[in-house]
Structure 1
Amino acid sequence: MADDLDFPFATPPAAGEAITVAPGVLWLRMPLPFALDHINLWALEDGDGWTLVDSGVADDTTRALWSHVFEGPLGGRPVKRLICTHFHPDHMGLAGWLTDRFDVALWATLGEWTYGRMLALESDETVGAVSKAFYHRAGVDAQGLELVARRGNSFAKRVVPPPPTVRRIIDGEEIAIGGRSWRVIVGRGHAPEHAALWCAQAGVLISGDQVLPRISPNISVWPSEPDADPLSGFLESLGRFAPLPAETLVLPSHGRPFHGLHARIEALAAHHGDRLAEVEAACRDRALSAQDLLGVLFKRPLDANTVFFALGEALAHAHWLEGQGRLRRSEVDGVVRFTAIA
């Protein structure tokens, strides 16, 4: 729980400004046009310049704030590279713009770069057709499917296409930045190959979206991989952070930096354990689709954007239980429903 965490910085930086959170590590914050209204970005001193971690979403507001940051907090010193933790628009949305502006490489895992590049270039028609079939199987009604068709490729609308080349990073790789070593820790579930960065010398973990202080990272099944089990990958990935020291300063992509990594990963695992129990119990009474499970898992109203994340989460929990032999699926009129076995 967040009550078990210590937040050493009471106030986040204003948009376009920066706070030093550790020697050579600057905290930036950019706005987002979603219910989750901000993203934290990081600038790491790198000799006579900077390594940036994540980019923000592709809109004019974020571009203008970056221009202010370059001349203000970053002191006009050059950007040497951009590292993106994962492909989501708030993290890789401006990767193409930043790498072009400074003529530098994008550093990312191959899975994240490939996924981001593919989705950025995919047509509305292809994404719409695949998505409509996927959400029909999830039990979405005709009105909801019309919304799916109108959305088309919503990802492409929030990104500049990532550059056509990448400097691939891999799990366990040590990246030298400013005379210190940052180790790549790859996590799964939230994204295909999410890269967190751990610096033992600084005692700092840039956790991206893999470990967040107050909300659970979205763990979803998406139309491009309709039978995936992302929750297994996420729960396994939490264990990769357990060996880090208790005093680690965690720099998340949303919320404030915090101490209490071990308590947080335990709370995230417990949260999903509770949700799994809720899904399994609900499916004992009758066969339920992902659409049916929304009322079980989400008590708050869902808007036209968050409902898709919620459907993906419902499927992620159902698929995990199915993989454990605790749910079985059936399909009637093209809609998949799940029933508890025990």
Structure 2
Amino acid sequence: MQQPSPEQVPGRVTSARHHDMLPLPEAGEVAPGIWKFTLPIPFPLRTVNMYALVGDDGWTLVDAGMGTPDARVAFAAGLHKAGLSIDTLHTIVLSHDHPDHIGLSGELHERSGATIYMHPIDANNMRFLWQDIYPERFTQVSHFFRQHGMPIGEPWFSQASPEQLHNIIKVPPFEEITLAEDGQYLHLSGERYRVIWTPGHSDGHICLYRERDDVFLAADHVLPRITPNVGLYSEYDRKNPLGDYLDSLRKVSTLPASIVLPGHGEPFKDLAGRVEEIIEHHEERESQIMNLLDEKPQNAYQLAEKLFGQRLKSNESRRMAVAETLSHLEYLRIDGQVEQHKMMDGLILYALV
């Protein structure tokens, strides 16, 4: 698949120093009984992975892409190649509540009657964020970013209208979701998978681990070529997402994974090496922020412009960059290294302690 360039997304494209990339067909078997489907998405990352866990009694889908026309065509082609049918889909596991991972879940649930598993935090978030896409939400989020210095024009949250979002993001009712907790074992398509709660990229992000042969379905927790967006957003409750994320990275770093199946990009090996690279990246970013704040107090948008530079070519990339910068600032504030000041005009500045 085509990987995003550094100019397309916030974050850093890192080397493959520790991990060997395994080039594979966009629709193919990537581990025993596991198929990968790659679907297009209308975001800078361009594609997202869905995984089919195939058994004698039917199959399980891990994540559900988005319901754009191009994604539907790609999904249908993948099903045909794998010899699968929606009629035999019995389970859907959603790793987190981001739109590129849940968009088809409601429709597939209606068509198949499949059981849907999700962590309780993101199941609840999904109910409020995506079941009703309403103008008040845009206003609330807009205010949050404005107070951190972001000049917001319309449309800034998404190029799509609420009506268009409803067409490509359809989620099941909260009452029909089965909650999956950390450490729980799910029996999926004749195999046993352990649920691992990995907050950071989202509050209720989960991974799946098949202990029989050490297959790790990482979703967006560990990606092969870029650092996942870990941002502080007003619509989420946990207030130290970077601290959560670093803890979650260390939590999975000791797994003896034979292969890592990510939410974006190709499968790879050496989970521990990739975790080390990502932690190093965040340590470097903290040092950069401290050096910038040593010059003068600044708001998150000012810092994001200096950290990400020419990569901020769209409103969406700017929003993600500001949120990611905020996650570092709050991590440093909680650690006692920086402090927050609210100015008379409502802007929030950060300064060294």
Q: TM-score, normalised by structure 2?
A: 0.89
Q: Is the 8 A contact 2:131 2:170 kept in 1?
A: no
Aligned pair partner of 1:26 in 35, 58, 62: 35
Number of the residue aligned with 2:68: 59
The answer to which of 255-264 and 170-179 deviates more is: 170-179
1:99 aligns with 2:109: yes
Separation in structure 1 between the aligned mates of residue 114 and residue 31 of structure 2, nearest angstrom: 25
Q: What letter corresponds to residue 207 of structure 1 in structure 2? A: A
Aligned pair partner of 1:288 in 290, 293, 298: 298
1:231 aligns with 2:242: yes
Q: Deviations over 1:72-92 (max 9, x none)?
A: 413436101111101111111
What is the 5 A alignment of 1:21-170? 21-76=30-85, 78-141=88-151, 144-148=152-156, 158-164=168-174, 165-170=176-181
Separation in structure 2 between the aligned mates of residue 112 and residue 74 of structure 1, nearest angstrom: 31
Which SS does the other structure have where 2:283 is aligned?
helix
The structure-2 alpha-carbon separation of the partners of 1:261 and 1:74, relative to structure 1 and needing over 3 Å to count, comes to same
The structure-2 alpha-carbon separation of the partners of 1:227 and 1:289, relative to structure 1 and needing over 3 Å to count, comes to farther
TM-aligned CA deviation for residue 40 of structure 1: 1.1
Q: Deviations over 1:240-269 (max 9, x none)?
A: 112211x52000011110001000111111
Number of the residue aligned with 1:12: 25
Q: What letter corresponds to residue 331 of structure 2 in structure 1? A: W
Separation in structure 2 between the aligned mates of residue 179 and residue 129 of structure 1, nearest angstrom: 46
The structure-2 alpha-carbon separation of the partners of 1:149 and 1:175, relative to structure 1 and needing over 3 Å to count, comes to closer
TM-aligned CA deviation for residue 23 of structure 1: 1.2
What is the 5 A alignment of 1:297-312? 297-302=307-312, 303-312=314-323
What is the 5 A alignment of 1:218-297? 218-225=229-236, 228-245=239-256, 248-297=258-307
Whose relative contact order is higher, 1 or 2, with alpha carbons under 8 Å and at least 6 apart? 2
Q: What letter corresponds to residue 131 of structure 2 in structure 1? A: L
Q: Which runs of 5+ in 1 are unaligned?
A: none
TM-aligned CA deviation for residue 150 of structure 1: 7.9
Q: What letter corresponds to residue 333 of structure 2 in structure 1? A: E
TM-aligned CA deviation for residue 5 of structure 1: 0.8
The structure-2 alpha-carbon separation of the partners of 1:278 and 1:149, relative to structure 1 and needing over 3 Å to count, comes to closer
TM-aligned CA deviation for residue 93 of structure 1: 1.0
Q: Is the 8 A contact 1:321 1:327 kept in 2?
A: yes
Q: TM-score, normalised by structure 1?
A: 0.91
The structure-2 alpha-carbon separation of the partners of 1:150 and 1:110, relative to structure 1 and needing over 3 Å to count, comes to closer
Separation in structure 1 between the aligned mates of residue 89 and residue 17 of structure 2, nearest angstrom: 37
Q: Deviations over 1:310-334 (max 9, x none)?
A: 1100111111110011001111110
Separation in structure 2 between the aligned mates of residue 317 and residue 124 of structure 1, nearest angstrom: 29
Q: Is the 8 A contact 1:23 1:202 kept in 2?
A: no
Q: What letter corresponds to residue 349 of structure 2 in structure 1? A: R
Q: What letter corresponds to residue 110 of structure 1 in structure 2? A: P
Separation in structure 1 between the aligned mates of residue 132 and residue 191 of structure 2, nearest angstrom: 39
